[in-house]
Structure 1
Amino acid sequence: MEAAAKQAVGSRYVLESMKYAQGKTWEAVNRLAQRVQPGMLETEAKAECHNVLNEMGMDRIWHPILVRFGENTLKVFKQPSEGDPRLKEDDIFFVDLGVVWDGHEGDAGATFVVGNDAGMKACADAAKTVFDEVEHHWRTTRAGGKALYDFAEQRAAALGWRLNLDIKGHRVSDFPHAIYKAGNLGDFADCPDAGLWILEIQLAHPTRPFGAFYEDLLV
């Protein structure tokens, strides 16, 4: 009964609408990434994201826009950015958007690199690789949320990265999902149902002051 309560949805919930919100949010992430250029301040990128979302006709934002440059890519969601860094010629940044489309919550995030820093490119690629491996593990084994993050930690370490376990995924649904108080995916013992949970992966470089982030809907 506890697992069922944590995976409850509202009367408007439709899986196809969740997929639509997922697709629109990814479109917004990629549109913004194309507009982020060296010399831009982190706050300027965040303001440009508002422009992108308004151009696309969003319903509303359901969690604050997050754009992190450089060393701020090590920060977790609840931590404020350190200062207002300017994106360098060789640099790394990530975008994390939570947007409502058609009454359903989209949440997507990815890391991008400008310039030619091989370590930064490897870190960004690794976040997506670990996400894909964990998603495949969920799909093929039906592992519970806690087991998924245990697996993510193992895979990150095997690839030479540190997994930040201060973020461990969360619920989404028709807006607002927060009334269900489901907690983190990484603390959910049962197998997460499709279309309800966001898998978050945040990595840190083992020696250099930056990281990478990737998240998407398990569907």
Structure 2
Amino acid sequence: MATLSTRAGAAPYSTLFLRVYDLWVIRLSNSYGWRCNRNYFVDLYRQNIGHRHLEVGPGSGWALANIDLPTDIELTLLDLNANSLAHTASRLNVAVRQIQHDVLVPLDEGVEKFDSVSINYVLHCLPGDWSTKGAALTNLAGMLKPEGVLFGSTVIGVDQRFTVLGTALMFAYNKIGAFGNRRDDLPGLRRLLSEIFEQVEVTMVGNVAIFVARGPRTNM
């Protein structure tokens, strides 16, 4: 069961907001708020997505819709918000399995493991510090095949120089609970990922940490 604070991060994704998500988040917020161009995400997906893929927190599905998914991909979407699941599935030309679920809660053991898992712009929406958010990464590591890869991104809240728009977004989103990243620091993210995975790469682009992690220790 999702907590109230977890639901706060998923709540903004109404059908109305999802209609403007690509413009507001992908284009404007990324470029002028977080100083991270959307093309970085296209490259991240193209380089790491596998045949059997789990997409956690798909948002509007923009990234998946912009990388020419192979028709034989086995794609699963996971989100607490049913609107985001339906909106993403509707814009893709491949078969999609939808799971409405809280990423802080372990998945059903009956779910077959994945070649790749993405968690893009999700961690900064989760409540708590890295010790709490680590549950999400641990759960997802457990859903990977031994040779699988987890990749994603998150807006870092500590020791950052934000633009005027970025400062306003950080204040507003954290105040309403849509973000929970005021204590999210870059060293803490690197340390957490390294505790869960054998190989970790983290790159800062503007205020965004883009990460790729391989070798889930849960499979050792």
Q: Same fold (TM over 0.5)?
A: no
Determine which structure has more spread, i.e. the larger CA radius of gyration. 1
